Amino acid sequence: MSKKWMYLFVLAVLVIPMILTACGTPEPTEEAQPTGATPVPTKEEAVPVQTEEVTGPEPSPYDEVDPTGATVLWWHQHSGAREEGLQEMVTDFNETNEWGITIQAEYAGGYSEI
């Protein structure tokens, strides 16, 4: 192959893709929206959003329950070091909860026995 044909081949490989790219589809402008696109309203066209009044959660039958001073008996299956750790957590809860609730944790056997 002669140098002349080699130069023409390289020129064709480099120039033809550039020409095809330059002739591609134009960038969309503000006037031209892509098919299926929702136009964005201008500041003047924007409609204010109406919001509903927030009233809070629905009333619950437990709204009137006062847990102050309650005692909870908790049967558990923990023994050994796990029971010691659990008793520490129960003691901490009993001393620090704001309602004065008392947890009474008792070992009741394994899962099948409980």
Q: If DSSP codes are grouped into helix, strand and coil, which group holds residue 10?
A: helix
pLDDT digits (tens), the chain, 114 positions: 677 777 777 767 776 777 767 666 666 665 555 566 677 767 677 777 777 777 778 889 888 899 999 999 999 999 999 999 999 999 999 999 999 999 999 999 988 887
Are 104 and 75 a contacting pair, CB within 8 Å?
no
Give backbone dihedrals phi and psi of 66, rounded to 5 degrees, phi first. -110, 110
